[in-house]
Amino acid sequence: MNKKLIPTVLAAALLASGCSLIPSLDKPATPVAAQYPVATEQTQQAAADIPWQNFFTDTRLQQLIQTALDNNRDLRVAVLNIAQARALYQIQDAQRFPEVGVSGSATRQRSQITGAYGNAFSVGVGIQSWEIDFFGRISSLKEQALAQYLATEEGRKSAQISLVAAVANAWLTLQADEELIDISRRTLKTREESIKLSKLRLDAGVASELDYRQAQSLTENAKATLAQQLRQRALDVNALTLLLGQTPPAELLTSLQGKRLSDLPVMADVPAGLPSDLMLRRPDLRQAEQTMIAANANIGAARALFYPAISLTASAGFASSELSDLFDSKSKGFTIAPSLYLPIFNAGRNQANLEVAEVQTKIAAAQYEKAIQTAFREVSDALVSRQTLADQLQSQQAQVEAESARLKLSDLRYKNGVASYLDLLDAQRSLFALEQAVVQVRLTQLQNQVGLYKALGGGWTDAAAADTVAQAAPTAGKP
């Protein structure tokens, strides 16, 4: 064979490779209703297109979120996973091409026939057992690695969404802690004054010891509640510290003192759109889709194992018994050695590999459907809660006002001897519980807004990227 044929053979091998045994992937039908159970606006900007800086308008919260994005270790691992997946894809892609290397050797050995010593020198360029991808095994693995890389990228976006929402919820929780602590301190102060009055009335013989003990019990209850809330606040600060990857700035925590949840800047309202929008907007759903594509590509690789594996080894260079003659024109030489391997019997291993790949694809499809259903439920729950929490908060605030008026009347009636001390204590207990309940409902309402923003795929787009999307939107789809 003429050595000029080597490039021709290599080119032909490259052209011959590329046959794919990957089955066509039929996406499962969307296993959810076409509409959410609660009607929503369809004309506003989608949540996934609203940068988190525009949704969370509180500058203090923006600072905390940015700190978390810069320092959170889970997000850092997600970013490193992308780099790893990219490198793995490049490794797999490189398998499609021959590995060319330079080799050289020098040996000296004794002839068993003549007993004389001889030298052998060689140097050349060669290809080491390159598998020609006639049946698409390597290209299928490449497609699998690409899908896994894309899934990892979507996983990072999903991790960022969760982190942004977690920091926002932790911030809201700390504000609620401060408001609850303020309520408990005011209540404790009132009850300590009440117990002093009860003690004076007891000593004067105007009130019974029962009234004094009841006042004492309520006071200790307020102390216990305050201690519990202080402990919970410390735990919530620790939780925020973990999310941020560092200790929260003291001035930000101090700024919450004396404030209420209602004092926080209002978060932007977002439309839910249609369930089909989630397929395009939520990174976790796109991640599940890419995982399904990767599993499907693995079927092609498993199928290729049933066909012959064709490899090529080739080299060209110089060989001589004398070092001085090594690069002489007469010392030139080349070898080319194709090989073929066709499995005949392997105890069913290839068939089992194919069955595993097919089952994994079915599992990935089921997980994709489950992810869609979960996303639909999360949005539906947030919409239903948004509709009812506002009504609940309004009613409970009205109940607090009524209970506050009842407490004043009960106190007045008790001081005038018209009502018993038990009526006054009951009014105090009820008002304390209702004031705390209002804070909890308002916290739930705000966290529901965060949850809806997260469920709709918002939180991973930054302001710069959003501007680019907005500028490109008018020309989208045009040639």
The tens digit of pLDDT for each residue in 221-251 reads: 999 999 999 999 999 999 999 999 999 999 9
Most confidently modeled of 31-35, 141-145, 469-473?
Answer: 141-145
Nearest to 211 by CA among 224, 197, 221, 223: 197
Q: Within a domain: residue 398?
A: yes
Q: Within a domain: residue 347?
A: no
Q: Within a domain: residue 326?
A: no
Indicate if the pLDDT at residue 2 is higher than 60.
no
Across the range 176-197, mean pLDDT stands at 90
Contacts with 32 (C-beta within 8 Å, 6 or more apart), sequence order: 275, 372, 373, 376
Kindly indicate the confidence band of residue 111, based on its pLDDT and cuts at 50, 70 and 90: confident
Q: What is the mean pLDDT of the chain?
A: 84
Q: Within a domain: residue 149?
A: yes
The tens digit of pLDDT for each residue in 319-356 reads: 776 766 677 767 777 788 888 888 888 888 989 999 99
Token representation of residue 169: 């919820």
- H or E element: which one contains 123? strand 117-132
Q: Directed axis angle between helix 137-203 and helix 421-455, to 10°?
A: 170
Strands annotated E in 269-331: 309-320
Q: Within a domain: residue 421?
A: yes
Q: What is the pLDDT of residue 478?
A: 40
Q: Within a domain: residue 221?
A: yes
Count: domains in the chain: 1
Residue 441, domain extent: 24-109+136-286+356-460
Kindly indicate the confidence band of residue 36, based on its pLDDT and cuts at 50, 70 and 90: confident
Q: Within a domain: residue 306?
A: no
Q: What is the pLDDT of residue 63?
A: 95
Kindly indicate the confidence band of residue 162, based on its pLDDT and cuts at 50, 70 and 90: very high
Bridge-partner residues for 108, per DSSP? 119
Q: Within a domain: residue 293?
A: no
Amino acid at the residue 376: F
Distance CA 468, CA 215 (A): 64
Indicate if the pLDDT at residue 465 is higher than 70.
no
Q: What are phi and psi of 38, to 5 degrees?
A: -120, 130
Handedness of CA 213, 216, 222, 223 (dihedral sign): negative
Most confidently modeled of 90-104, 130-144, 395-409?
Answer: 395-409
Kindly indicate the confidence band of residue 433, based on its pLDDT and cuts at 50, 70 and 90: very high
Q: What is the pLDDT of residue 166?
A: 96
Cα-based torsion angle of the residue sequence 223, 225, 227, 232 in order, rounded to the nearest 10 degrees: -170
Q: What is the CATH number of the domain that holds 395?
A: 1.20.1600.10
Indicate if the pLDDT at residue 8 is higher than 60.
no
Kindly indicate the confidence band of residue 39, based on its pLDDT and cuts at 50, 70 and 90: low
Distance CA 265, CA 59 (A): 9
Q: What is the pLDDT of residue 473?
A: 41
